[in-house]
Chains A and B, each alone.
Chain A
Amino acid sequence: MSGIAGNGTTGGAGVQGTLLELARMATRHSDPVDVFMLLSERVVDLLPVAAGAVLIVDAGGRLHVVGASESSTGLLEVLRTLDGDGPGRQCVTTGALVIGDMRSDGERWPALAGLLAREGFDVVHVFPLLSRSMGVGALSLLGARPLDDGEREIAQALADLAALALLRSDAEEDALVVARRLHRTLQARATLGQAVGMITERFDLDPDRALRRIRRTATAADMPMVTLAAAIVARTLSERLALALAREER
């Protein structure tokens, strides 16, 4: 997994291509889990950041990771610290971008500063995912330096398109519908995790490879990952899909 900071290619085909793809996914009502996982993985190639993640809130306002550029324990620990008294909480509460530069702001969030230093990051940006100006999640980016104006615009545009996956195409949707969808997305992510575990064991893989295999199979079968995951977990896979899952990567 690329953990090299400052390696993103900003502007040009990479960003444009991703924006178009996210827009297409939004209009086709793609499943939020697919959208968020795509975004969190792509963002490290599009911006000069070393790690990225998409988080959404549950019914009680707590933040949960639904997609991350890598699944390392260290990164996940950092992401959990964004909640509580961290910049993630602040972003969701205010609905605005929060930037934490640990070289100058370290005392604001001491626990986070310690973890970031350990993982080799200096700056965290938390961009809001918004529904009617209320924060329902965040795109969190970790890197070595603050983003410039152009890079911040790109990041917020990516976050806005990702948020559309939750809201369909109507930001004025009823709050109850959005709350339901957030909850279902969290459940979908749990189901996907369970399926990853089963595939990990079944084919003697590690979780990252198992996830990639599920995604590859779901994409080829033109279904959201969570639909395939639910079939894996319920042990109701068709023979065709079971065979597809069993195929090794080239």
Chain B
Amino acid sequence: MVGQGRWRRIADLLQEAAAGADVASAVAEVVAELIGVDDVSLMLVAAGQPVTSSGTSALAVRLAERQIALGEGPSVEALGTGASVALVDLRSVDALDRAPVFISEARAEGVGAMFAFPLRIGGALVGVLTGTRAAAGPMSADQHADALIISTLATIALLREGTGTSSARWAQVLDQASILDGAVQTAAGMVAEQLDVTILEALVRMRAHAFAVDEPIEDVARSLIARERRLER
């Protein structure tokens, strides 16, 4: 289908990279190639706080961990606001203002630009994906679009991985990309309220249930909204 081209192409790239790798590694590898950055880090969160970082290089991991330790930086900012952060030139006043200590350190490490993309589905925040580059300058429109798609696919795949119910079959993840819409999100809100858990936990539980009863998550969502079924604690 015409409108699916970019989604399909990226899902295929992730599948090629996946072979036995976990979601984080596959994503980091493909991102580095596609969006023209030198290094990629993936920070995952629990209860809104970053807890793990992985990356394509020691530098990437170091930059992520420094941001966590300092509580500032584009990745931390993206986690806080839920919006992507593009620091196209670390020498700019704007970059320095936003995170004075971290940016000075990053510049000393030879970083010229950083781009952070939150991994989220509405109010459910899974982590942040960050690309760094020695050369300053913005991303192209294509690279930016690819980054947004990878972010969505990665979020869904990490959710699935979190339930321990599947290996990274990216074609399946692609099919799930419509969970951003309508009924699944409303059902997740209901489950979060019923079980007194976060939206993220609710989505994980719905996913686990859908897998257990072998139904598409959209059908589970519809029957939850119609109160035909209810997830137990």
Enumerate chain A interface residues (CB-CB to B < 8 A).
57-65, 71, 73, 76, 83-85, 89, 92-93, 175-176, 179-180, 183-184, 186-202, 207, 229-230, 233-234
Please judge, given known A-B contacts A73-B222, A190-B180, whether A184 and B83 are in contact too, CB under 8 Å.
Answer: yes
Residue numbers in A under 8 Å from B190 (CB-CB): 197-198, 200-201
Q: Would you call A187 and B120 a contact (CB within 8 A)?
A: yes
Output the least CB separation between B179 and chain A (Å).
9
Which A residues are CB-close (under 8 A) to B147?
A: 59
Q: Determine if A198 and B189 form an interchain contact, defined as CB atoms under 8 angstroms apart.
A: yes
| A110 CB to nearest chain B CB (Å) | 15
Q: How many residues of B contact A (CB 8 A)?
A: 45
Stretch at the interface among B37-45, B94-102, B161-169, B191-199: B191-199
Which B residues, 168 to 207, have Cβ-Cβ distances below 8 Å to chain A?
Answer: 177-178, 180-182, 184-194, 199
What are 26 A-B residue pairs whose CB atoms fall within 8 Å in the complex? A60-B6, A60-B10, A60-B145, A61-B3, A61-B6, A62-B4, A62-B7, A76-B182, A89-B1, A89-B3, A93-B2, A176-B138, A180-B83, A183-B84, A186-B180, A189-B122, A190-B185, A193-B189, A196-B186, A196-B189, A197-B187, A197-B189, A198-B190, A200-B193, A229-B123, A233-B192
Alpha-carbon distance between A89 and B3 when the two chains are bound, in angstroms:
7
Most B Cβ at <10 Å: residue of A71, A73, A189, A191: A191
| Chain B 133-148: CB-based contact to A (< 8 A → 1; otherwise 0) | 0000011010011111
- The list of the 8 closest CB pairs from A to B, nearest first, reads A197-B189, A190-B122, A193-B185, A233-B123, A59-B148, A191-B122, A201-B193, A197-B186
Which residues of chain A are within 8 angstroms of B124 by Cβ–Cβ distance?
A: 194
CB proximity of A80 to chain B, nearest CB, Å: 8
Within 8 Å CB of A76, what residues of B?
A: 182
Residues of A within 8 Å of B188, CB to CB, are 193-194, 197
B17 interface residue per 8 A CB criterion: no
Which secondary structure dominates chain B's binding surface? helix
Pair B3/A84 contact, Cβ less than 8 Å: yes
Question: Are A202 and B193 interface neighbours, CB within 8 A?
Answer: yes
For the complex formed, measure the closest distance between the CB of A192 and the CB atoms of chain B, giving whole angstroms: 8
Chain A hits for B83, CB < 8 A: 180, 184
For A188, what are the chain B residues with a Cβ–Cβ distance below 8 Å?
Answer: 122
How far is A60 from B192 in the complex, measured between Cα atoms in Å? 30
Other than A84-B1, A230-B82, give 5 A-B pairs with Cβ distance below 8 A.
A60-B7, A71-B182, A179-B141, A187-B82, A190-B121
Instruction: Specify which chain B residues have a CB less than 8 angstroms from the CB of A175 in the assembled complex.
Output: 141
Given contacts A60-B7, A89-B2, contact A207 B186 (CB under 8 A): yes
Q: Is the interface of A mostly helix, strand, loop or mixed?
A: helix
Known: A175-B141, A193-B186. A65 touches B181 (CB 8 A): yes
For the complex, give the distance between the alpha carbons of A59 and B187 in Å: 25
Q: Which residues of B sit under 8 angstroms from A197, Cβ to Cβ?
A: 185-193, 225
Given contacts A84-B3, A198-B192, contact A193 B182 (CB under 8 A): yes
* Residues of A with C-beta under 8 A to B144: 59, 176, 179-180
Q: Does B20 contact A (CB under 8 A)?
A: no
Q: Give the residue among B124, B139, B190 with the most A Cβ atoms within 10 A.
A: B190
Contact B122 A180 (CB under 8 A): no
User: Do A234 and B194 form a contact, CB below 8 Å, given A64-B180, A193-B185, A197-B186?
Assistant: no
How close is B78's CB to chain A, nearest CB, in angstroms? 12
- Neighbouring A residues of B10 by C-beta, 8 Å: 60
Q: Which of B11-69 contact A (CB under 8 A)?
A: none
Candidates B3, B122, B141, B222; contact of A194 at CB < 8 Å: B122
Minimal Cβ-Cβ distance residue in B for A192: B122
Bound-complex Cα distance A89 to B2 (A): 8
* B210 sits at the interface (CB 8 A): no
The answer to whether B225 touches A60 (Cβ under 8 A) is no
* Distance from B136 Cβ to chain A, minimum over Cβ atoms (Å): 16
Given contacts A176-B141, A193-B186, A194-B124, contact A183 B7 (CB under 8 A): no
**Separation of A105 and B221 alpha carbons in the complex (Å):** 35
Report B-chain residues with C-beta under 8 Å of the C-beta of A58: 148-149, 152, 180
Which A residue sits closest to B6, measured CB to CB? A60
